[in-house]
Amino acid sequence: MTPADLKTAAQIDHAVFGMEFTVGILEWLADALD
């Protein structure tokens, strides 16, 4: 792995975490509004 590969992998990992975090908030909001 080159440093560029590591940077790309970190960006993908960060994006996936961000999506899961957003989905978690949306699910929490849906529960709160019920």
Q: What is the pLDDT of residues 16-32, one digit of tens each?
A: 999 999 999 999 999 99
pLDDT of residue 8: 96
Q: Residue 15 to residues 1, 3, 21, 23, 25: CA-CA distances in angstroms? A: 20, 18, 10, 12, 15
CA distance 3 to 22: 28
pLDDT band per the 50, 70, 90 thresholds, residue 5: very high
The CA-based angle 29-17-4, given to 5 degrees, is: 155
pLDDT of residue 34: 83
CA distance 12 to 30: 27
pTM exceeds 0.75 for this model: no
* Percent of the chain predicted with pLDDT > 70: 100
